[in-house]
Homo-oligomer: A and B are copies of this chain.
Amino acid sequence: MNDVAKEKELEEVFSDYGSGSVGLAQINTIVGDIEYNSKKVLKYINHAQNIGLDLVIFPELTLTGYPVGDAILRYPLLADTNVKWLNEIAKLTTKTVALVGFLEPANDKNNKFYSSVAVLGEGKVLNVIRKSFVDKNYEFNDCKYIISSDNSDISTINVNGIRYAVSVGDDYLCENKFSGQNFDIIINCSASVTYTKKEQCKFGRLSALSQKYSAPLIYVNQVGAVDNASFAGLSAVFDKEGKLFARAKAFDEQFLIVNPSKNLGKIYPLIRGLELTSEDDGKFSLDYEPDMERTYNILIQGIKDYFGKTGFERAVLGLSGGLDSTVCAVLLTDALGKENVFGVSMPSKITSDTSKNDAQMLAQNLGIGFTQAPIKEMFDTTNNCLQELFADVEQNWDCRYKKSFTPDNIQARSRAMFLWGVSNEFDSCLPIATSDKSEAYMGYATINGDMSGGFAPIADVTKTKLFALARWMNENRPQKNAIPQSVIEKRPGAELAINPETGKPLIAEDALMPYEFLDEVIWRIENKHQSYDDMLNSEFLYEKSHKVIENKHQSYDDMLNSEFLYEKSHKVTPEQKQQWLEKFYRRMGTALYKKSIMPPYVIVDSPSYNFSQPITSGRINYKNESEETIRAKLQRIF
């Protein structure tokens, strides 16, 4: 949101490509803040006019921002307001033609709208082009409010003798709409959310369309995050052979100038991970390295935009010396600046010296604020008060647990109490929930404890991927090895309880299952939609002989420098596997409630993580039953 820097950047990418030059305004909008969005649009139009472009193109629904969701009903002036701003922008658009996405009220229908693109020029609205293919985009419930135009043909406009066919969003998928039309260049104004392995698939389709009609194609996408939804940008231009000749940056606002008639434009490098196509996803892999740059960037954008768009600037988080809080601290530092991050080490009597030292060293390395606030007093007071309370409750109620998680949870909740206190006391500050995806699936997080916060940066990143991300950040951030090696090497545990069998702090994998196995189960559910039986009958990577890059007391460098990576395979008996899978399903069912109160996060891996399922369906049957079993069960009723 630094406007000076943005304007400077704008200047840098201006080029004089002559007649037929087009500007792709890949902007980051704020949903509903029409004034903010309109001013930004006008700035880009001004620049376009100043340097004499023929045309400047904005993403779909730029004036309102996308997705608007139910705000349309709650703020009934929204559409009228964006039309007013559009009309005023039009008056200032005289030299260049601008294509601006806006929400057009369908006058004959209540609370129904078109996703339209206005053609601005000569100081007025020259034309309005309506989206004709409104997909059932369930995620954002588009078709609840947006209706399709009944244009059977694609609309065209003529700018300085060049004929442009203008498509909005998924219109470009309806290839037949282009048939029999006369146009030189295809335009697609889009607001297309990014997921793992989505981009190349989309680019392939766009390229195919330009080939089919032997016309260059200009694709303008929005950039930025809206809550958990991320938009990558990557606006692009293909020549009439379908070859890419210009592409904007990923995860950054940009004004890209091209001349499609002359194949002029610049290709900014693709962030690694965005080049992956869906054909790559046949198998689970623990080698996350190819996806690390994308993962890092999507997280950084997600944090930046959540804070920026809600008006927060600073973050406070607990630093346990463990992996989750460590990765969060690094991400927050990179997204918000070290001066805006404060880490609090809140040791208990279980906390090891290593953990304390790691937390402090991390903070030192990052240069963030840091202090230690032991929770012993909080724990003792709470525990004392609770013991009295429990004794009272026990007079009425039976079934007090012999062994409970109460002491573990008191620790986690005391820490959250500290962090929310800082958030209360200091302006513009959000406390951070450090839950990761593996633990969120298992409900292995404390309500009002580590899963509580104003934002949960890594809630869609599995544990094994977090290890890879920590290594990657140590290698690829300007400051190398900010994360202490011991954080990456130790086996994760919340340090909330002592394992009676070992006398040492309980390791999470002992309570759950090996993370390599757990994360593959999640992957199979989200990406392959597999069942319990499918998994029972599949060989997991954990069981195979494979390269070890996780959880070993060996650094990345050690391994890179070894002649070959250490290979291992675990013997997993069918009984063990069944037991793990049953635990997984049982825990996933009872974790539905926790998922429902998870703070806002960034979707990194799979839209499936955002699945909604009734909490009261936690007893859902995941096992395949034979007809004989079913018959026997019913006969008993009959």
Contacts and interface: CB of A to CB of B under 8 A. Distances in A.
| Contact-residue bracket for chain A | 35 or more
Interface stretch (A291-299, A386-394, A488-496): A386-394
A631 interface: yes
B448 A427 contact: no
A337 B309 CA distance: 46
Contacts of A622: 75, 77
A70 B421 contact: no
B619 A30 contact: yes
A78 interface: yes
A425 interface: yes
Contacts of A571: none
Nearest to A528: B76
Contacts of A91: 631
A111 B234 CA distance: 31
Nearest to A525: B74
B630 A84 contact: yes
A476 interface: no
A270 B612 CA distance: 33
Nearest to A384: B377
Given A413-B417, A634-B92, A381 B389 contact: no
Contacts of A375: 385
Contacts of A540: none
Given A389-B421, A393-B342, A397-B314, A33 B615 contact: no
Given A310-B618, A425-B400, A377 B385 contact: yes
The number of times this chain is found in the oligomer is 2
Given A73-B608, A141-B141, A371-B389, 12 more contacts: A46-B638, A67-B614, A76-B529, A85-B634, A342-B397, A344-B389, A373-B388, A378-B385, A386-B425, A400-B425, A596-B600, A597-B599
Interface of A: 30-36, 38-39, 42-43, 46, 65, 67-71, 73-78, 80-81, 84-85, 87-89, 91-92, 111, 136, 138, 141, 143-144, 225-227, 305-306, 309-311, 314, 316, 339, 342, 344, 369, 371, 373, 375, 377-378, 381-382, 384-386, 388-390, 392-393, 395-397, 399-401, 404-406, 409-410, 413, 416-418, 420-422, 424-429, 447-448, 452, 454, 525, 529-534, 593, 596-600, 608, 611-625, 627, 630-631, 633-635, 637-638
20 contacts: A31-B616, A70-B613, A73-B608, A74-B611, A75-B531, A77-B624, A84-B630, A85-B634, A88-B630, A88-B634, A111-B529, A311-B618, A316-B393, A371-B389, A385-B418, A389-B421, A390-B421, A390-B425, A593-B600, A597-B599
